[in-house]
Structure 1
């Protein structure tokens, strides 16, 4: 059981680092997003390949939105890959929808509360995914 605790600790540290960098620089660095995306994709491919659809779905949605309307960066796309896989692994389609829709709701609320036209989206993605995963694990 200690292995799971270690994985959770590493994941929390990674998420906090992403949150802090995105809030400060409004950028999610490749150094933090690429290894997570590759690791999540590899893990899904060798354990349950259907989970890749969660990651590809979120990343693809953001890629489409970014190309069509702007406002979505490459870091959000790469983060969507790893978080989409995580949400799908935690609770399937329902958890995936909670994470994806929740990220948008949290970003809109943050913008309204701070009265800023633009806020970092990565923290909202992380928060909504943590909520979705927590819902399915009873945390």
Structure 2
């Protein structure tokens, strides 16, 4: 990944995380264009198939969880899963798997810390998705 592309991805992940922390929302104007751009760039660089598979797989997992427990996982997280799945999928199945497993673990750890600090019972999941993806990619590079 080039420096410019990496910077753009990092800016996207930070913007998403800040929005979710501040407003508890992942806006469509950030999630969907980001996912489309990641899929396009992956296709143009020869990583279209793994990116598409990663997007579809993570979207499917998040959609099932959202439908089973809508209050536990919002629709914004489901839409973000398309972009995160595509991004990590483009780097290979090991990166995708690490990010997919790390995100819920990060959210769980954050929630435990919030409960212990008496700062609420729920935490946004988007920042964990973004951090897990960035860390997984950084480890791969």
With the length of structure 1 as denominator, give the TM-score of the two structures.
0.89
Instruction: Tell me, yes or no, if the aligned pair for 2:50 and 2:90 is still in contact at 8 Å.
Output: no
Distance 1:135 1:30 in 2: 29
Pairwise CA distance, 1:19? 0.9
State the alpha-carbon separation in 1 of the partners of residues 42 and 74 from structure 2: 24
Cα distance in structure 2, aligned partners of 1:30 and 1:41: 16
**What's the Cα RMSD here?**
1.5
* Structure 1, unaligned runs of 5 or more: none
**SS in structure 1 at match of 2:130:** helix
- Contact 2:77–2:126, Cα closer than 8 Å, also in 1: yes
Does the 8 A contact of 2:55 with 2:84 survive in 1?
Answer: yes
Higher helix residue share: 1
- Indicate conservation of the 8 Å contact 2:88/2:133, yes or no: yes
| TM-superposed deviation, 1:51 | 2.4
Residue of structure 1 aligned with 2:131, choices 127, 132, 137 = 127
More off after superposition, 45-54 vs 32-41: 45-54
CA distance in 2 between partners of 1:106 and 1:6 (Å): 27
Deviation at 1:45, TM superposition (A): 4.2
Match of 2:65 in 1: 65
Counterparts of 2:80 and 2:32, CA distance in 1: 8
Q: Deviations over 1:96-123 (max 9, x none)?
A: 1110110000000000011132101000
Q: Note if contact 2:50-2:86 (Cα within 8 Å) is conserved in structure 1.
A: no
Name the structure 2 match of 1:85.
86
Mapped pair 1:22 → 2:20? yes
> Which sections of structure 2, spanning at least 5 residues, go unmatched?
none
2:32 alignment partner in structure 1 = 34
